Amino acid sequence: MSRIGKLPIDIPAGVTITVDSDIVSVKGPKGELTVPHLSDVTVALEGNQATVTRKDDQRIAKAQHGLQRALLNNAVIGVTKGYEKRLEVNGVGFRVSGGGNEIELLLGFSHPVKYKAPEGILLTVEKMNIIVSGNSKQAVGQAAAEIRKIKKPEPYKGKGIKYSDEVVRRKAGKAGK
């Protein structure tokens, strides 16, 4: 039995879940998200809890059991609390400006780099930190990864864009005589 799949999902007040044959819709105070309804599992709503059960013990059903529960739980958290990722910009002369859905980065290139966030993602700039927030865990993670990809942290001085909880392994520089 899937350890994650068998856990029930608590549905907070103000959140409604609608189960259709091919999608599961989750509505809450921070918006609406849809999750695909996988073929080998069923989603049952009982009071203020949702449970995911698999139809049989096939390998694909076992795999989809935990996946369906995790996707549904992430959607419930997304429409109630939302998700955020924090990025730090390190480097002499590096600057970040803007906010909302577009930021401008000065990262030592010959030109400023502009990043436009996809719909549903909010970018906030605080000094040399970028906060990516939204209600979809996947979209927030993807936007943060795209921003980090512009200038990854390098191992000698640590210059670049990194996640706030990321640890950059530093290398020793050139050995002098």
What are the φ and ψ backbone dihedral angles of 72, each rounded to 5 degrees?
Answer: -65, -40
Give the CATH number of domain 9-80.
3.90.930.12
Residue 29 pLDDT: 94
Residues of the chain with pLDDT below 50 are: none
Per-position DSSP letters for 49-94, written without gaps between them: EEEEEESS--HHHHHHHHHHHHHHHHHHHHHHT-EEEEEEEESTT-
Superfamily, domain 83-163: Ribosomal protein L6 (3.90.930.12)
Residue 1 pLDDT: 61
Residue 3 pLDDT: 85
**Helix or strand holding residue 163 (H, E):** strand 160-163
The conformation of residue 8, written as its DSSP 8-state character, comes to P
DSSP-derived pairing of the beta strands 113-116 and 31-36: unpaired
**Crossing angle for the helix pair 59-80 and 137-150, to the nearest 10 degrees:** 80
Reduced 3-state DSSP string for 119-147: CCEEEEEECCEEEEEECCHHHHHHHHHHH
Domain ranges in the chain with CATH number 3.90.930.12: 9-80, 83-163
Q: Nearest 5°: CA angle at 32, between 102 and 61?
A: 115
DSSP-derived pairing of the beta strands 129-134 and 95-99: unpaired
Q: What residues pair up with 97 in beta bridges, in sequence order?
A: 104
